[in-house]
Chains A and B, each alone.
Chain A
Amino acid sequence: MSVVPLRQNNTFHKDPKFGRLLLVSLIAHVLVLVVFSVDLFGTKVRYKPPVYYVDLIHKPVLNPQAGRPDPRPVSKPKPEPVKPAAQTVTPAVPREPVKPEVKPLVKPTPAAEPKPKPKPAEKPVPKPTEKPVAKPVQAKEQKLQSALDEIRERQAREAEREALKDKLAKLRDSVGAAATVPADVPVGMPDGQGDEVGVSALAFVQAFIQQNWVLSPYLLDQSRIADFEAVATLNYSASGSLTSYSVDRLSGNKQFDDSLKTAIVKSRQLAQPLPKELKLVVTFNLKDIAAARR
C-alpha cells in the first residue's frame, strides 16, 4: 500500500515577500512625513515673516545713569500752548519797570480768584486822585490814571497766569514723577549712579517676566487682601538665554507659584541680550504686579 502524501499547496504559490513590502510601506510613511514637515515646494511662503519688537530704550545695562526708566508718559503738546502765551506777554515793554510797584498790590490777592481783585485795587485809587487835583492838572492825571489802570490790569493778568502755572505744577507733581519729567531727561533709573544709558538688568528681567506672566483675574483680585511674594534666582547667559533657575522662596499659594514658574520658563529668551552672563535674584510681589496692571 502506497503512502498518500499530504497536501503541499503552500509551496506552489509564489507569494510576494511580506518583509520587503513592509520596508516599502515604512519608506512611504517616512516620505509622507518628510513632505509634510519639510518645505519642499515652498508652500510656507504664505506665512508672514515673524515680527520682532525691539525696545531701544529699555536696554539692560549694569550701571544705569540717573534718569527716567520709561520716556513714554511725557506729553509734550499740552503744556506747550501755555508757554508761548506767557512768553508773548512778558516781552511787553512796560512790564519790567512796573514790577516793583505792583508786587505789593498783587500779593495779598488770592491766586484762585482773579476777578474780584482788580475791583478793590481800583476803588482806593480814584478817591485820593479826585479830591485834591485841580482842573488843568486833571487831564494829565486822567492819562496817568488810565496808564496805571492798564498796568494794574496787566499785572493782575500776570498774577493770574502765575497762579495757574503754580496750580499746573502742583497737578503734575500729584500725577507722578514720570509726568513731571521733561522729555529731554536722560534714560536711566531713578536711583541710577552709573553712566550707561538704559535700565538696570534686574529691572529689565523682572519687567520681562511679569509681562509674560499669565495671572488669573481671581488672583489679581486677591492682591487686595493677600500679599504673595516669591524670590527666584535666575541665571541668564550674555545672549539673554535662561540657563538655570531656582525658586528660593515660594509664596505659599500654589497657583501663584506655578504660574511664576511657567512665566520664568516662558521668558527663557529675553528680548535683548544682557551686558554679560548674570545671576539675578528677583523678587515678585503680587501687589506690585496687580498695581502695574491696573
Chain B
Amino acid sequence: MELVLNAGPVVKLVLLILVYFSVVSWTIIFYKQLVIRRAIRDSDRFLDFFWSKKRFDAISQGLDGFRQSPLTVLFREVYRELAQSRRQSDGQESDNLVADLGEQERVARVLRRSTTSETHRLEKYLSFLATTGSAAPFIGLFGTVWGIMDAFHGIGTSGSASLAVVAPGISEALVATAIGLVAAIPAVIGYNHFVNKVNVLTGEMDNFSQEMLNIVQRMSRGN
C-alpha cells in the first residue's frame, strides 16, 4: 500500500486506469459466467423439452421456462414466422409448391438472423476482456518506465547510486507492471473460456437450425 501511495502522479494515474480495467473486467467475467451458464443449462433443458413434444404450439406455450437459451429464441422466431405465413396463405390462393419454397427460405433467413443476433448477444462485452488482456500489461509497463525515469532523476539529484536510493523508486515503479498483469491475466483467461463456450452454443444453434429446417420441410410436404 505504501508503494502505491509513495508513487508519482503519472504512476498513480496509470494504477487508477488499471484498477478501472480490472473492476470492469471482473464485472464482465461475473456477467458472462451467469449468462452463459444459464444459456447452456436452459438449452439442454429446452432440447429435452423440444423433442418430448410433437406439436409446435405445445412447445411455444412452455417457452417461458427456458428464457436464457438462445435455441428458445430461434424456435420462437420460426414459430412466429410460420404462424404469420399460415395466416397469409389462409387468405390467398396460390401455387402450393412456390408457396412452400418461399416459406422454407423465409424460415432459413429467420434462423440465420436469429443465430447472428444471439451470437452477438452472447459475445457482448467480450471485446473488453480482449482489450484488457492485451493492453493492460503495456499500460502497466508504461507506468513502470515512467516511474524508473523518475527514480533515475532522483538518483541524479541526490548524487548517490546506492541501493538504498535506487531500490525504493524502482519497486514503486514495478507496482504498475504488477497491477497491469493482475488485471490482464484474469481477462485473458476469461476471454478464452467464454469464447469457447460461445462457440459451443453457436454450434448448438446451427444444429438446431438444421433440425428446424428439416422439420419445416417435412411439414410443408405434409409428412
Contact = CB atoms under 8 A, between A and B. Distances in A.
Given A15-B35, A36-B1, A258-B157, A22 B27 contact: yes
Contact of A259 (B87, B118, B159): B159
A129 interface: no
B23 interface: yes
Size category, A interface: 20 to 34
Interface in A201-221: 214-216, 218-219
A25 B157 contact: no
A13 B159 contact: no
Contacts of A216: 158-160
Contacts, number: 71
B165 A214 contact: yes
Nearest to A24: B30
B19 A29 contact: yes
A264 to B, nearest CB: 13
Interface stretch (A4-12, A68-76, A97-105, A189-197): A4-12
B90 to A, nearest CB: 12
Contacts of A14: 67-68
B34 interface: yes
Given A9-B114, A13-B68, A262-B158, A22 B34 contact: no
A26 B159 contact: no
Contacts of A36: 1
Contacts of B158: 214, 216, 258-259, 262
A29 B114 contact: no
B26 interface: yes
A174 interface: no
A16 B73 contact: no
Given A29-B19, A33-B1, 12 more contacts: A7-B117, A12-B72, A13-B121, A16-B35, A18-B27, A21-B34, A25-B24, A26-B23, A29-B22, A214-B158, A214-B159, A262-B157
16 contacts: A9-B73, A9-B77, A9-B117, A13-B67, A14-B68, A21-B34, A25-B24, A28-B26, A29-B19, A29-B23, A214-B158, A215-B160, A216-B160, A218-B159, A258-B158, A259-B157
